[in-house]
Structure 1
């Protein structure tokens, strides 16, 4: 029988990240465009929270470099705010519309706008996949157009120097852990910690660092994708916790 499992240091209470009125926070003025840190939940004996304001039809999220996001159809899902439509705009001009997926802004450093070279940007947002684990989506914006998109894990920390080169890296993993018993041995899936490097060509998979770290976790490298067909001893979850803690320390969290 499968049982969901999340490494202890990667678990975040929905109450902490919930935005009660589904209103995205304003990104930081300098550096990466991101949402402000969420406010702490008051203690039970403190003054009660005000009633949430009604959902509005449209929300605007201003970013840097003239970009903005327009979100439509806000709703609550399992205590989290998600939106049924996303528009990407540049200087007021519509670049992209997506109504096929639901988007959320509950993590403190999404959305991210990463400038690469002139007129080239990577925009990262979070796609809702509840009750499973959400994932990130990179929109490749080139010369004023969305030239492509790629799904990546939701990152566990802001960018940090995770190896010896000068570039900064992000890291994340694909899925919640599930455990099951096989011949009285608790097992889980191959769920690699994947690293992406911020380069002049955009956000790119750092295959060398991904291989190195997952060899430490799993004993050998089985690729950068989640694989349920490669059962692993549950003890690897503790090693993954250690690696994620290292990523967060190097990112200053």
Structure 2
């Protein structure tokens, strides 16, 4: 299957993606104007000092020049990945999946921070969107896509590339290489879960298809009776022809 990862904003099919895109832009400018106060308010510290941040941390975007690169990457993932997922799953399912991915990312980051005994502040929508995209890729493993008008490449490769880009910033942190593993685990789990779910559904469908003809078959005695009647019909036809041929011979005499 071939497709193109293109921005697909639509008020009918991608309302959630469009709304998130606008909120991210507003959050960036708000953070820049307030010298980081908006981002700090929306973020989620792993010490649970801001419980509301568990629901708002995807909107926490760093401001200023340093946050611009983060914003561009986040908007890119929203434009290309999230719109693709929403077009496939629908708005309501995408919102539910997104919430589930938010909780999964937060859980593993809190777990990693507690085990490593380091403070960490969770922010940005990139890990959540990437995890959600992992669900999509797991259901379309063999799909190829044309990302920038170049040759078609495997969609799994794109997921792996952006997962690596998500991991790299952790290398500069204290105990970051280990914490980064916890950051990408949700992506792998989403991919694995979706892949297993698809295989289960395909196997279930194949089993129904294989068993269904057996349910539709008549008892074996029915087919034996049909074969017996067919033989009797052929025998009567043979005797009729013999009788007609004997009559023809009698007339000739």
TM-score, scaled to structure 1: 0.28
Name whichever structure is richer in helix by fraction. Answer: 2
Q: If you compute each CA radius of gyration, which structure gives the higher value, 1 or 2?
A: 2
TM-score under structure 2 length normalisation: 0.28
Question: Hey, which of these two has a bigger chunk of strand by percent?
Answer: 1
